[in-house]
Amino acid sequence: MILRFFFPFMLLAVLGCSNTSQDKYSPQDTTQANEEGIVKPQVEEEPETLYGFTKKDYIVVQDTVEHGDFFGKIMDEHHVTPQKVYQITQQIPDTLFDAKKLNVGNAYTLLKSKDSLAKTRVFIYEHDLANYSKVYLGDSIYAKREKKPIDIRQRIATGTIDYSLSAAIESAKIDYALTNKMADVYQWTIDFFNLRKGDRFKIIFNEKYIDDTIYAGIRNVEAVLFEHRGRNFYAFEFMTDSVNKRTEYFDEEAHNLRKFFLKAPLNYSRISSRYQKRRYHPVQKRVKAHKGTDYAASRGTPIWSTADGVVTRSSYTSGNGKYVKIRHTRKYSTQYLHMSRRAVRKGQYVKQGEIIGYVGSTGLATGPHVCYRFWVNGRQVDPYKQDLPDAEPMADSLKTKYLDFIKPIKRRLDSIPYQEEEARKVAQIESVE
């Protein structure tokens, strides 16, 4: 080391002959030698960014919308003139940024110039975890609506029914929203309010993450195996229309899980009264036929059409209250009674699952519910005892492709052990040890 200080020319000679002895670099050096003497390029750190801007170039102010806040007030607090605020509200379409709709609790960010004036250059408003608007406040005023990068992570889970599907989902420590996702997949084939203890499921699904850390919900369900009453119900997601990105669920034999009719016209809490020929009417205080199925639900719960069709009645009577009747085919019609509010008009075409009204207790009703009535060839029947038609089957041209597509997924699904099976294996290993 002494030689390095007193004889710099010797050091230069050594460096000229060998890379392995170099252990110090000036800021201009772009290469670095490793232990084996191989020179590697020196990687410069990427500058930290925020919403696509280089963070070090601005003064960054981050906050959330509070009660009493509005766009003009926030701008005024950061010395943006009323004239500039007026220009923003007039020149920027609401589809990109609506200054009138700032929600309490939503985050916003201001980027200011790094000089003595500290002028606000950009206002960024987060609509939700993923979507945000950038409003540029320079000489040219404009806005962009963008989405944060979303990472997709695949997960598998299993569960066993003790009380309900939602309790099983919670026990498996997965997002409660998966309850509704599974109910959507099987809404034509399984009555989730009539599950049995011991029913169980395996599921492959995808979760969304923002910035690799912030959980943003369930993206989609890829495949499910639901064991219900000793029978296996498979469901595989498959794209049937690549142009419109339409996907549907099919079973292991390429049968569409979607039926012509939904199992129920709403998300209900319980069936309070079924179709029966003799029932004591709680309002009229007499025994009479009840030619419908009553679904109890909270007031205001959306009611949807169980199949495509045309609204033939959207009216009121003293018995039915506010009600809607829909003709689906020459053979099938349905009716929905006791609504608090109707959402369709006579002659309107509605799609399966479209909201047609909301639960209420109008007419002869003791509490909020919808009485669902079903006609076959003009005669009222019990929908739960009908052999109802399937939806449009998969095209023959897609069937071979579909069966090849699901082979590896089905193998994987079948190989996933249920929780109790895994616990049994662990117990057996422990007993052997």
Q: Which residue has the tokens 């009611």?
A: 303
- The model's pLDDT over 402-419, given as tens digits with 9 standing for 90+, comes to 999 999 999 999 999 987
> For residue 280, what pLDDT is reported?
55
Tokens of 297: 């639900």
- In angstroms, the CA 215 to CA 207 distance is 8
Q: Could you tell me the pLDDT band of residue 251, with boundaries at 50, 70 and 90?
A: very high
- In angstroms, the CA 82 to CA 156 distance is 53
**Which of 25-29, 146-150, 269-273, 316-320 comes out lowest in average pLDDT?**
25-29
> For residue 12, what pLDDT is reported?
37
Q: Are 204 and 154 in contact (CB under 8 A)?
A: yes
Q: DSSP 3-state helix, strand, coil percentages of the chain (rounded to 5)?
A: 20, 40, 40
Give the burial string for 333-359 (b: 16+ CB within 10 Å, else e): bbbbbbbbebbbeeeeebebeeebbbb
Higher pLDDT, 43 or 260: 260
User: Is residue 22 scored above 70 in pLDDT?
Assistant: no
> For residue 82, what pLDDT is reported?
95
Q: Could you tell me the pLDDT band of residue 260, with boundaries at 50, 70 and 90?
A: confident
> For residue 212, what pLDDT is reported?
83
Give one word for 30, left, alpha or beta, with left for phi > 0 and alpha for psi -120 to 50. alpha
Q: Could you tell me the pLDDT band of residue 194, with boundaries at 50, 70 and 90?
A: confident
Q: Are 330 and 372 in contact (CB under 8 A)?
A: no
Tokens of 359: 């639960």
- The model's pLDDT over 55-105, given as tens digits with 9 standing for 90+, comes to 999 999 999 999 999 999 999 999 999 999 999 999 999 999 999 999 999
Domains in the chain, start-ordered, CATH in brackets? Answer: 2-41 (no CATH), 52-147 (3.10.450.350), 152-250 (3.10.450.350), 270-385 (2.70.70.10)
pTM (whole model) above 0.75: no
Instruction: Determine the average pLDDT of the residues in 345-359.
Output: 94
> For residue 163, what pLDDT is reported?
84
In sequence order, what E strands does 230-354 have?
A: 231-241, 246-250, 270-273, 276-281, 286-290, 293-296, 302-304, 309-317, 321-327, 332-342, 349-350
Mean pLDDT over each residue of the chain, to the nearest integer: 84
